Structure 1
Amino acid sequence: MNKRIVSCPQCGEPAAYSPDNPFRPFCSQRCRLIDLGQWADESYRIPLADPTQPDIPPLDA
C-alpha cells in the first residue's frame, strides 16, 4: 500500500498521512500541539459574513 504524503498544516513539511503516523495530518507532536494551542487561545476564528447586517429581518418589513 502506498503512503500518502501531505504537507503539514502547521509548518508545510511533508508528513505521511497513514496509521503509521500518530500525529497525522501533522508531521510531529510539536506541530500538533502548536495547532491545538492556536485553537485554545482562539487564534482561529470563523469570520462573519457582514457584522453590520442583522441575521433577522425587522418585524415591520
Structure 2
Amino acid sequence: MNAITTIKCPQCRKETTLAGNPYRPFCSQRCKMIDLGTWADEGYRIPGEKAPESGDEEPGDE
C-alpha cells in the first residue's frame, strides 16, 4: 500500500501532499513567497534579548 501523506499548508492551512510537491511544506509558490516576504520584513521574530548592534560595546568591554 502507498499511503499519501497530506499536511496543512503553514500559510493558508489548505491540505496538500508532500510527495511530488516542489513547494513543500507549502501548497503553492504563492504561499511560499508570502512566507519568505514575512521573514524578509522581519514579521517573524525569535523571542529573546536584542543582540547588540555592530559597534556597540557591552558594559565592561574596554
TM-score normalised by L of structure 1: 0.72
Secondary structure of the residue aligned to 1:6 is strand
Runs of 4+ in 1 over 3 A off after TM superposition: none
Write the deviation string for residues 7-58 of structure 1: whole angstroms up to 9, x where unpaired: 000000001112x10000101110000000001111000011xx5xxxxxxx
1:45 equivalenced with 2:45 (yes/no): yes
Structure 2 counterpart of 1:37, one-letter code: G
- Structure 1 residues not aligned, in runs of 5+: 52-61
1:21-40 → structure 2 map (5 Å cutoff)? 21-40=21-40
Aligned residues: percent identity? 54
Q: CA RMSD in A?
A: 1.0
Structure 1 counterpart of 2:3, one-letter code: N
TM-score normalised by L of structure 2: 0.71
Structure 1 counterpart of 2:9, one-letter code: C
